[in-house]
Amino acid sequence: MVPAQFGIDIFEEMTNLLNKKTEPTLLTPIYRELQKIAASKHPKRRLEARLALKLAEKCRIVKTEPSADETVDDLIVRLAKKWKCLVATNDRELRKKLKKKAVPVIFLRQKTHLECE
């Protein structure tokens, strides 16, 4: 929801950061969470989620679900390792989990641009 919150074109930023065109991917549990937020009563979050859903149209949606003993964050970490891909997130706990597994993370820096660690 960074584009709505900070006015950043994340697709262009990722292309510039990585010096190549990327194929953004969104997992179905994340997509469903955006839909849930978009239907919520909180007006600002609802608007941000609706914009995120519109931007999701530019992404490849991957139908997948966490296993019975797995959280959505665990699913993201597992698939990122398996697919050898970067993960874009500002979630502090998820970033820590990804770092422990040596998965590169793209995140918002100083509310102005994306950075990779």
Distance CA(40)–CA(80), nearest Å, equals 29
Q: pTM of the full predicted structure?
A: 0.90
- Tell me the pLDDT tens digit for each residue of 14-40: 999 999 989 999 999 999 999 999 999
Share of the chain above pLDDT 70, in %: 100
CATH classification of the domain holding 53:
3.40.50.1010
Position 42 confidence tier, pLDDT thresholds 50, 70, 90: very high
103 Cβ contact partners less than 8 Å away, ≥ 6 residues apart: 77, 80, 81, 85, 86, 87
**What domain range is 109 assigned to?**
2-116
Distance CA(35)–CA(97), nearest Å, equals 25
Count of Cβ atoms closer than 10 Å to residue 76 Cβ: 23
Query: What's the gap between Cα 26 and its chain centre?
Result: 7
The structural domain count of the chain equals 1
Q: Kind of pairing, strands 25-27 and 87-88?
A: unpaired
Q: Is residue 3's pLDDT more than 90?
A: no
Mean pLDDT, rounded, for 104-113: 95
pLDDT at residue 66, rounded to an integer: 96
